[in-house]
């Protein structure tokens, strides 16, 4: 791996406090994981591996993963941190380089890589085939995988796996309660920035998967997550995913007899039809949603009217 020229100056770790000092610098993260040796060891590796490295970070709860990422990002400043998320439209991890300004590609940076386990075998093998490409840059790469994903990496990308700098464990025995998960979910989605859009999509999709096994998960909260995933997925052209989650939200709305949620879900399905150029079906969905929004006096009625007017052109 090449050494970066004029590397950024990174503040030293706090002294005298051990792992607790690192945890105190990241008070918003879950103490159970930020106080671990693995948290401090990964932080040290990413700060001081000047020639670059790659590591695997294990997680079994998405909420915990996101909190650890946030804490590490804060503690690594001013070292730049980038994120890459697998999607069918961006399947190969070395494209993280395209997210960087060209001049920054030879400088030190940290890159968190997510959702590999949604990829096929060919994506894992691409790690093996392109490991020399990864090693040409002084970047600290962290591949976030579940414990089963660790096995996939070892089997399907054995040469890449053999060159890892370490495996760091952030799995937890108990999931965060819903009350602690709620603050991770914004009121609305953000589509102004691709990285932020992908962050929200992987977070909300992952939260749904985690909460799916919790019998006490509030259905209305789950429906809100489904709707957010549907809208985000539609925006980034993952249309089958968008349809799946819009329908899941509608199913919950019908079960709860929640008319506003029903209208929102129908509107999301209409957006899917538009993406598929199924304009007759889209008009039917929009008319159905508009009828409900108008009846309940929702300001969203005017937005749906605009969408309908656009379809008539």
What is the rounded CA–CA span in Å between residue 119 and residue 112? 16
Question: Alpha carbon of 221 to those of 95, 96, 253: distances in Å?
Answer: 34, 33, 11
Nearest to 109 by CA among 47, 194, 66: 47
What is the rounded CA–CA span in Å between residue 224 and residue 235? 17
Residue 244 clears pLDDT 90, i.e. is over it:
yes
Sheet holding 109-114, edge to edge: 81-85, 109-114, 139-145, 53-58, 167-169
Length of the chain: 313
User: pLDDT of 67-118, one tens digit each?
Assistant: 899 999 999 999 999 999 999 999 999 999 988 889 889 999 999 999 989 9
| Mean pLDDT of the 196-215 span | 91
What is the rounded CA–CA span in Å between residue 54 and residue 130? 13
pLDDT at 61: 93
pLDDT at 30: 60
pLDDT at 53: 95
User: pLDDT of 257-312, one tens digit each?
Assistant: 999 999 999 999 999 999 999 999 999 999 999 999 999 999 999 999 999 998 86
What is the rounded CA–CA span in Å between residue 263 and residue 249? 10
Contacts of 180 (CB under 8 A, 6+ apart): 63
């Amino acid at each position: 791996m090449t050494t970066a020229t004029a590397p950024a100056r990174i503040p030293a770790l706090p002294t005298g406090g051990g792992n607790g000092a690192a945890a105190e610098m990241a008070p918003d993260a879950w103490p159970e994981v930020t106080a671990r040796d693995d948290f401090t060891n990964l932080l040290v590796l990413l700060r001081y591996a000047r020639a670059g490295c790659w590591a695997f970070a294990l997680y079994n709860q998405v909420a915990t993963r996101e909190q650890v990422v946030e804490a590490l990002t804060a503690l690594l400043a001013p070292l730049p941190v980038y994120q890459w998320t697998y999607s069918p439209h961006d399947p190969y991890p070395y494209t993280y380089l395209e997210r960087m300004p060209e001049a920054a590609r030879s400088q030190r940076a940290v890159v968190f890589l997510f959702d590999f386990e949604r990829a096929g075998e060919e994506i894992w093998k691409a790690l093996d085939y392109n490991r020399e490409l990864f090693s040409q840059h002084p970047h600290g790469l962290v591949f976030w995988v579940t414990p089963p994903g660790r096995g996939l990496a070892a089997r399907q990308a054995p040469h890449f796996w053999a060159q890892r700098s370490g495996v760091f464990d952030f799995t937890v025995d108990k999931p965060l309660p819903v009350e602690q998960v709620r603050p991770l979910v914004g009121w609305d989605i953000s589509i102004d920035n691709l990285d932020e859009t992908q962050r929200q999509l992987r977070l909300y999709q992952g939260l749904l998967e985690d909460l799916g096994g919790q019998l006490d998960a509030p259905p209305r909260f789950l429906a809100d997550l489904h709707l957010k995933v549907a809208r985000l997925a539609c925006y980034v052209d993952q249309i089958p995913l968008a349809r799946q989650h819009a329908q899941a939200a509608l199913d919950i709305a019908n079960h709860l007899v929640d008319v506003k949620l029903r209208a929102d879900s129908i509107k999301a399905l209409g957006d899917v039809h538009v993406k598929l150029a199924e304009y007759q079906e889209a008009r039917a969905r929009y008319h159905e949603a508009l009828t409900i929004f108008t009846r309940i006096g929702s300001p969203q009625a005017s937005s749906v009217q605009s969408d309908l007017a656009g379809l008539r052109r």
